[in-house]
């Protein structure tokens, strides 16, 4: 924590916390401040004018970023027979049915995305209290309850991300790595912001997208110029 604090303070000293930055400038600064020994994730945080406690103000979905996220996702698939074989061939890390459910109930959750065929939802449904709080419950609206398990696995492995607004109206996601080029990050951020704009719920009133900031894992956040986005 001490090392992070020192690096964070040094990065913060280089920026104006009250200034809003054009996306291109923000990316340059965030990349320059990403000096950790590992490849830091570039995160975007968006404050939305919604109250997700109301169903008509929930913002949730998936998006495949133009250049992926730079992160390797572990994918679990609930399927049987030929569909299980398709999932394995597509690169799924874990494939099973009742056996996979037992492992999860025992506390083994070694995956970042969970996919299921519709016929397996009777088994998966029993895991709601375990997978739900972690945002891992398969959902037809997100394309994770599907017969096309191969396509879903490949999309997840290619960098598709799920997003969901939190209780306070804040939405966060990783949109790349510090090792990405500035253009790759610019295109990923632009695609993500556009997706959130398209996902504006019917119940959202007034100013929908209120504040957007960009940061690296160990660095301070920079406010982005919304008018330019």
pLDDT tens-digit profile of 108-162?
A: 999 999 999 999 999 999 999 999 999 899 999 899 999 999 999 999 998 899 9
| Contact between residue 22 and residue 225 where contact means Cβ atoms under 8 Å apart | yes
d(CA 229, CA 215): 16
Greatest distance between any 2 Cα atoms in the chain = 58
Indicate the pTM of the whole model: 0.80
N residues, the chain:
229
Residue 145, beta-bridge partner list: 116
Residue in the structure block whose two tokens are 């979905």: 61
Q: Which residues contact 65 (CB under 8 A, 6 or more apart)?
A: 159, 160, 161, 175, 176, 188, 191, 192
| Contact between residue 35 and residue 198 where contact means Cβ atoms under 8 Å apart | no
pLDDT at 1 over 50: no
Give per-residue pLDDT as tens, 27-46: 999 999 999 999 999 999 99
List the alpha helices (DSSP H) in 13-148. 23-33, 81-90, 98-105, 121-124, 128-131
Q: Are strands 60-64 and 75-78 parallel, antiparallel or unpaired?
A: unpaired
List the alpha helices (DSSP H) in the chain. 2-12, 23-33, 81-90, 98-105, 121-124, 128-131, 149-157, 182-198
Average pLDDT, the chain: 92
Q: List the domains of the chain with CATH numbers.
A: 16-69+161-224 (3.30.190.20), 75-157 (3.40.50.790)
């Amino acid at each position: 924590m001490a090392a992070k604090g020192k690096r964070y303070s040094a990065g913060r000293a280089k920026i104006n916390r009250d200034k809003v930055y054009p996306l291109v400038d923000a990316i340059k600064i965030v990349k320059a401040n990403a000096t950790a020994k590992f490849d830091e994730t570039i995160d975007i945080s968006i404050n939305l004018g919604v109250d997700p406690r109301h169903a008509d103000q929930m913002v949730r979905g998936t998006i495949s970023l133009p250049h992926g996220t730079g992160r390797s996702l572990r994918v679990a698939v609930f399927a049987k027979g030929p569909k299980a074989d398709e999932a394995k061939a597509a690169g799924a890390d874990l494939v099973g049915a009742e056996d996979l459910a037992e492992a999860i109930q025992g506390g083994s959750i070694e995956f970042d995305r969970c996919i299921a065929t519709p016929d397996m939802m009777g088994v998966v449904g029993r895991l709601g209290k375990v997978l739900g709080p972690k945002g891992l419950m398969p959902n037809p609206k997100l394309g994770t309850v599907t017969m096309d398990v191969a396509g879903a696995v490949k999309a997840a492995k290619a960098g598709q991300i799920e997003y969901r607004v939190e209780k306070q109206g804040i939405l966060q996601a990783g949109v790349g790595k510090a090792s990405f080029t500035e253009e790759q990050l610019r295109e990923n951020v632009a695609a993500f912001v556009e997706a959130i704009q398209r996902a504006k719920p019917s119940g959202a009133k007034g100013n929908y997208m209120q504040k957007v900031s960009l940061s690296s894992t160990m660095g301070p956040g920079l406010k982005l110029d919304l008018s330019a986005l």
